[in-house]
Amino acid sequence: MRKIKFAIIIHLSILISCQPQPEETKVKDFNNFEFLEQDIAQIQMGYENGNFTIKELVKAYLDRIEDIDHNGPSLHSVIQVNPDALQIADALDKEMKDGKVRSPMHGIPVILKDNIDTHDNMPTTAGSRALADSYPLKDSYITKKLRDAGAVIIGKANLSEWANFRGELSSSGWSGVGGQTNNPYILSRNPCGSSSGSAVAVSANLTMIAIGTETNGSIVCPSNSNGIVGIKPTVGLVSRSGVIPISFTQDTGGPMARTVRDAAICLGVLVGVDSTDSKTLASQGKSYNDYTQFLKDDGIKGKRIGFYKKPLGRNFKVDKVMNEAVEYLKSQGAEIIEIDEITESNVGGFSFEIMLYEYKDGLNKYFKSLGVDAPIKNVKDLIAFNLSDSIELKNYNQKYLEMAEEKGDLTSEEYKEALANMLKGSREEGIDKVMNENNLDAIIAPTGGPAWKTDAINGDSFQVGSSSPAARAGYPNITVPMGFIDELPVGISFFGRAWSEPILLEIAYAYEQGTNHRKAPEFLTTD
C-alpha cells in the first residue's frame, strides 16, 4: 500500500529543547484487521450470531501475530505461539455448538506473560536462555482458571528478563530469548516493563486480553506506555502459584486489556483462594466473580479523590494532561483533595531489601518445583549459566541476582525488620493514613510519561511514575488511557486501600467512558 507520511515532533528528553526530528512513516496500514479494537462483548455477539467461529477468530489473531509481531513492524511482543491453539479453539467451538458457554471468556484469545507456567507444548522461560527448554510440571493457578473459563491461550508474551530484576542499566522489554520488544506507537520507543510484551500485544490487537505481573510498576507502566488498561490487584486477590517470583510480599498477576470492562471480566475469572498461595487466604469474602457489576457511567459523582502531586513537575506536558484529567473529574462531580506526600519513611530502601531476600527464596523454590530434570537448580546455577552464555550478559549485568544470592534466608533479622518497616510505612503510615485523614475514596496520579527511546547502552530513562505507593503496600492500582503527548499515550492511575477494586473500577470506568482516549497504534517508524 502507499506510504503514509506523518510529520511530528519528538521530544527526546526534558533536557533537550523541542526541535523537529526525522520524518516518521507508517510503512503499511497494519490496522486493516477485521477484529480491530473489538471487545469481549462484540466477540461474544459475533459467536452468538454465527458471524465467525472461535477457530476463525484465533486463526485471525495468529495470522496477525505472524504479520505484525514476527514480520512487518517486528514488535517482538510474542515470545512464542501456542501450537495447540487452533485445536483448543475447535474443541471450544464444539462446546458452544452444543449450548455450553463456560463464561464470558469462552473463546477469548489470551496471551500470558512468559513467567506464568503452562503445562503444555510451550516452555516457561522468564525470557532467560537458561530456561529456554523448561517445561513446568503443571499449569499455574491462573492458567488453569483461564482454561476452565474457556479462554484460548494463544501464546506467551516477551518480557523484561526475570521481570526486570536481574541487573543494572537494563532496557525494559529485552530478554535473551525474545530480544527487544518495541512500542507499537513509535517503534523506536520503549514499551516499559516488565510486562512489556503483554501490553504491546493487547495494544497492537494481537490478542483480546493479556496477563501481566507486577512487583512495582510492571503492569501499570507498560499499560501507560502502550495506551491500554491495566489492573494491578491487591496482593492476594490473584494467586501467584506457578508464577516465577520476585517478591512474595509485592508480586501479583493482573489483566491487561483495551477497555476497563474487558479487564474487569478477566479479573473475575482470575480471583480465588488457592491453598498453595497463603496470601490468597485473606481474599476470602473480599473477591467477586463478576466485577462488571461495579461499572457505572456516573461512578465519579460524589467521590472524594486525592490528587497525588509528587510525580508532577518533571515533565510539563504530562502535568498539562494530568491537570486536564483533574478538571474533568471535577466536572463530573468529584471533590479533589491535593496530596503532596503519601509516606515519609524510607519505604523504598526497605522494599529493595525485601525483594533481594524474597527473590532468592522464591527462585530457589520455583526451580525446585520444576523437578529433578530442571535445567537450573538454584540461583547460583543461574548466575553461572549467565556468565557462560554469549548473549545474556552482552549488554547487561546480573548484579541483583548476585546481591540476592548473598542474602540469608527469611529468618534473618534484617529481612524481618525491613518487612515490618515497609508494611507500616506504606500502609498504616502511608496510604491508609492519607485516605483516612482525608476521607478519600481513591487517589489519582499520572501513571507515567511518554515512552522514551529504547537505549541498549544506557538502559531505561524513567521520568514520571506513581506505582510505588500501591506496589509496596500491596494495594490495588488501575491505569487507564489519559491522553496523548505528540503521538505517544500516557495514563492516569487510580489506587487506594486493600480490596478496593470495586470502587476503583467504578471511578476508572466512568473516567474511561467519559473521555475515550484509547486509540489504536499506527506503528510509526523513525530514521
Q: Are 178 and 194 in contact (CB under 8 A)?
A: no
218 part of the active site: yes
Contact (CB, 8 A) for 176 and 79: no
In order of 309, 345, 353, 418, 459, the CA distances from 349 in angstroms are: 21, 9, 7, 8, 21
Q: Which of 175, 194, 198, 225 is catalytic?
A: 194
Q: What does 334-380 look like in DSSP terms, one character per residue?
A: PEEEEES-S--S-HHHHHHHHHHHHHHHHHHHHHHHT-TT-S--SHH
As given in the structure block, the three cell numbers for residue 323 are 491537570
Those residues whose C-beta lies under 8 Å from the C-beta of residue 333, and which sit 6 or more positions away, are: 298, 300, 301, 302, 303
Please tell me the total number of residues recorded for the chain in this structure. 527
Sign of CA dihedral 477, 482, 484, 489: positive
Q: How many CB atoms lie within 10 A of CB 84?
A: 15
Q: How many CB atoms lie within 10 A of CB 350?
A: 21
203 carries an active-site annotation = no
Please confirm, yes or no, whether 59 is among the known catalytic residues.
no
Sign of the CA dihedral running 228, 266, 277, 200: negative
Interatomic CA distance for residues 500 and 234, integer angstroms: 8
Task: Name the residue among 386, 409, 412 with its Cα closest to residue 398.
Answer: 386
369 touches 135 (CB < 8 A): no
Q: Which of 55, 113, 232, 303 is catalytic?
A: 113
Cell of 343: 509516606
Distance from C-alpha of 308 to C-alpha of 65, rounded to nearest angstrom: 39
The cell for 378 is 538454584
Q: Give the closest residue to 323 by CA, choosing from 304, 333, 336.
A: 336
Active site residues: 113, 194, 218
